[in-house]
Structure 1
Amino acid sequence: MSCCCEFNGCNEGAKVLAVIFDLDGTLLDSERATRGVLNEFLARYGKELDMEKEEKKRLGMTQKESAAILVKDYELPFTADQFIKEITPLYRERWAKAKALPGANRIIKHLQKNGVPIALASNSLREYIDAKISYHKGWKESFSAILGSDQVISGKPSPYLFEEAAKKMGVDAVNCLVIEDSLVGVKAANAAKMKVVAIPSRREADCHGLANVVLHSLLEFQPELWALPPFDDWLDNTLPIEPIHLSGLYVSGCLQEATDNAILALPDQAVGLYIGWAKVDTDRNFKILVSINLDFSCVSYKKIHVCLIDANSDLDDKQKMQINLVGYIRAWDNKELTSKDLEKLEEYKSIARASLDLPSFTCL
């Protein structure tokens, strides 16, 4: 098992006794589920979404702060409160489709099973938090405390949300570990004198240097580095995961050029080396090794490379694949999975062959 992260004194100081999670972008892929809502809403008023402004995303802001900026930027004919009232029902419809990010269910269940108190602290309103997590079995019951920005004096980057979460769990702030995806969340954790792990999206790269550890995915998180009980769910060299479904890839591994292609279906936190199955036609399934890398030179920011293991040579590279990723091997190491490093490639292919023959993976 391997972890690709940046360390900044994660073993220093007080022992970690509790963990506090952010929600949107950390545990829940809310952004992908609600993509297009703002564009549709602005179109009603003859406005067009400015993607340059959207690149300066308002991640981590409270709803009121974000609404005020949008009303001003797009010169909308109402107040921030009226904007919220009109657009919220559109978001609510999409929350049911928001999926747990890779590793989210795993870490929640693991910490709960081992008696580690966990809390949820989000800049969303408490009402919205409850609505979002209601679609995920066991989440509400797992948290010792759930807090929204409307329950404290001020939301992130102020420390109050995290401090109140620690208080409700009966744990001192210095004994808490925060897991966040946004810069304002990391700043809030620092202000609360808590340790913090950042799993930033591509828009939140400034988290580097402010967090104790920076990861690409929750799947990279190693509890033992924080003196927390280690995971015990690895099968030899592979971690079973909740299946990730992809389509729009050709047998050659080239991406289909479409707005709804495989890359856009993946959250930023789905990087790493995976194993799985590819269905090429109605009756043929192949074992595959898949690397998902960040590539900031392209618009989608991700690059997928698929290696079909022991596939027949009669396959047509114009055939499309339906892909089901079922296992995780290791963190992203800044390299594509190519034939350039044949020794490493053969090692990973060997792991994929052996793991995909196990009952835990063949059933998928």
Structure 2
Amino acid sequence: MELHRVAAVIFDLDGTLLDTERATRGIMKDFLLRYGKVPDMEKEEKRLGQMQKDSAAAIVRDYELPLTPEEYTEAIMPLYRERWPQANPVPGVVRLLRHLHKHGVPLGLASNSVRKHIETKISHQQGWKEYFSVVLGVDDVKNGKPSPDIFLEAAKRLGVDPTSCLIIEDSPVGVRAAKASGAKVLAVPSLQGQMECYSIADLILHSLLDFQPKLWGLPPFGDWVQNSLPIDPLHVSGLIEEGSSCNALSITTEDCSYDSIADQVSGVFIGWAKLEAHGFSKAVISTGWDLSLNTPKRIMEVHLINSNYSVKKEKLQLLLVGYIRMLPDKDNILDALKITEKDQSIARAALDLPIFSQHKNRNLLL
């Protein structure tokens, strides 16, 4: 895409900056169980990014709950508030916020949540209150997303023209609102397998780790080390699949827990592997989504560096500490996940550096 110089960046919150969905997973299921109901995932996905009052009314109607929308909200919101402190930033977010704030780029936060909930959520993240010059909730404007009102108001308060803003969103509702404001729109989808819902965005990324400031006329990053980007460690645990080769270990969601990994984690990473029977090893890890099925499925390939022992089905712990590159755009996910000799060479050298090696013994307990 052509270079577009932006004067300010406006972010959505839930799913874009904070992985609140993962932190609050199971609340809706448990709540509906009280009334003998189960969540309809298709309907729940369509509610992504909606205003809370609209979502509450739809939930009461869809599941025929013996409650008013107000009663439903009063009953379930305390359950969500208890979990918000557990929400982690989406990978790449802290790096991007710090970088833009350091270089004096005006930042806004515009969410379909009400203001008091936004302030509660960001209060648990160090420094975030200081990053944003403008924070707006749905109660600060006449119409919430997909109306562009909240983005137009954010641009106004930032003192810039909407067309000179970059808006970063994760939901189709938010992308539509952002596009209607006249701003440039970057989508980092939280709905896997529904890329058509994001097609109006100016650019789609699977991860904010792939954000390129130069595309938007913003100051470049300078934090890559030995061809790798240091990241906040991501922990994965699971079982190696039967039939995995010595160095190429296949792991799928049936065998693996991804509770700490946001859906927007995609690409080739370096890190440390610990096998139940063989101990520690340097590793290259590629991960992405298989969208060929009715239900999107996360897949991981792990290549152990300089390991020649025979591998059977056994427990595996992974700690991802660095990022190398995005996955190539290929129809076959297995082809996209292939780890190259260059990836392995980068891992060998980078993982000897203190910035990466310091994590070797952290949280890898089988």
Match of 1:328 in 2: 323
Which consecutive aligned stretches of 4+ in structure 1 deviate over 4 angstroms post-superposition? Answer: 256-259, 335-341
- Give the drift of 1:267: 2.0
Query: 226-235 or 292-301, which moves further after superposition?
Result: 292-301
User: Is the CA contact (8 Å cut-off) linking 2:238 and 2:251 kept in structure 1?
Assistant: yes
Pair 1:153–1:203, CA change in 2 (3 A):
farther
**Alpha-carbon separation, structure 2, partners of 1:204 and 1:295:** 12
**Which SS does the other structure have where 1:96 is aligned?**
helix
Pair 1:243–1:340, CA change in 2 (3 A):
closer
User: Is the CA contact (8 Å cut-off) linking 2:229 and 2:322 kept in structure 1?
Assistant: yes
Match of 1:11 in 2: 3
- Give the drift of 1:208: 3.6
Find the partner of 2:135 among 143, 146, 150: 146
Pair 1:130–1:330, CA change in 2 (3 A):
same
**Alpha-carbon separation, structure 1, partners of 2:132 and 2:73:** 28
Match of 1:361 in 2: 356
Which amino acid letter does the alignment assign opposite residue 352 of structure 2?
D
**Alpha-carbon separation, structure 2, partners of 1:60 and 1:297:** 25
Match of 2:362 in 1: none
- Alignment of 1:80 with 2:69, yes or no, is yes
**Alpha-carbon separation, structure 2, partners of 1:339 and 1:195:** 29
Which amino acid letter does the alignment assign opposite residue 81 of structure 2?
R
Which amino acid letter does the alignment assign opposite residue 3 of structure 2?
N
Pair 1:310–1:339, CA change in 2 (3 A):
farther
Find the partner of 1:186 among 175, 178, 181: 175
Which amino acid letter does the alignment assign opposite residue 16 of structure 1?
V
Instruction: Describe how 1:43-54 pairs up with structure 2 within 5 A.
Output: 43-54=33-44
Instruction: Describe how 1:106-125 pairs up with structure 2 within 5 A.
Output: 106-125=95-114
- Give the drift of 1:121: 0.4
**Which SS does the other structure have where 1:237 is aligned?**
coil
- Alignment of 1:136 with 2:125, yes or no, is yes
User: Is the CA contact (8 Å cut-off) linking 1:183 and 1:204 kept in structure 2?
Assistant: no
Post-superposition CA distance 1:304-332 (Å, at most 9, x none): 1111111141x542221111000000012
Instruction: Describe how 1:213-224 pairs up with structure 2 within 5 A.
Output: 213-224=203-214
Which amino acid letter does the alignment assign opposite residue 220 of structure 1?
D
User: Is the CA contact (8 Å cut-off) linking 2:109 and 2:134 kept in structure 1?
Assistant: yes
Match of 1:3 in 2: none
**Alpha-carbon separation, structure 2, partners of 1:278 and 1:146:** 41
Match of 1:97 in 2: 86
Structure 2: gaps of 5 or more residues? 360-366
Instruction: Describe how 1:298-337 pairs up with structure 2 within 5 A.
Output: 298=293, 299-313=295-309, 315-334=310-329
**Alpha-carbon separation, structure 2, partners of 1:150 and 1:302:** 36
- Give the drift of 1:338: 7.0
* Aligned residues between the structures: 349
**Which SS does the other structure have where 1:255 is aligned?**
strand
Pair 1:268–1:118, CA change in 2 (3 A):
same
User: Is the CA contact (8 Å cut-off) linking 2:24 and 2:83 kept in structure 1?
Assistant: yes
**Alpha-carbon separation, structure 2, partners of 1:256 and 1:159:** 39
Pair 1:280–1:340, CA change in 2 (3 A):
closer
**Alpha-carbon separation, structure 2, partners of 1:204 and 1:126:** 29
Q: TM-score, normalised by structure 2?
A: 0.90
**Which SS does the other structure have where 1:274 is aligned?**
strand
Query: 241-250 or 329-338, which moves further after superposition?
Result: 329-338
**Which SS does the other structure have where 2:104 is aligned?**
coil
Structure 1: gaps of 5 or more residues? 1-6
- Percent identity, please: 52
**Which SS does the other structure have where 2:282 is aligned?**
strand
**Alpha-carbon separation, structure 2, partners of 1:280 and 1:317:** 10
Find the partner of 2:31 among 18, 41, 51: 41
**Alpha-carbon separation, structure 2, partners of 1:135 and 1:340:** 35
Post-superposition CA distance 1:89-139 (Å, at most 9, x none): 111111111111110100000000011011110001111111111111111
Find the partner of 1:235 among 225, 231, 236: 225
Pair 1:154–1:272, CA change in 2 (3 A):
same
- Give the drift of 1:283: 8.1
Find the partner of 2:162 among 169, 173, 177: 173
Cα RMSD for the two superposed structures: 2.2
Pair 1:241–1:138, CA change in 2 (3 A):
same
**Alpha-carbon separation, structure 2, partners of 1:189 and 1:50:** 28
User: Is the CA contact (8 Å cut-off) linking 1:176 and 1:194 kept in structure 2?
Assistant: yes
- Give the drift of 1:291: 0.5
Q: Which has the higher contact order (CA 8 A, sep 6+)?
A: 1
User: Is the CA contact (8 Å cut-off) linking 1:122 and 1:149 kept in structure 2?
Assistant: yes
User: Is the CA contact (8 Å cut-off) linking 1:263 and 1:304 kept in structure 2?
Assistant: no
User: Is the CA contact (8 Å cut-off) linking 2:286 and 2:337 kept in structure 1?
Assistant: no
Q: TM-score, normalised by structure 1?
A: 0.90
- Alignment of 1:287 with 2:282, yes or no, is yes
Which amino acid letter does the alignment assign opposite residue 212 of structure 1?
D
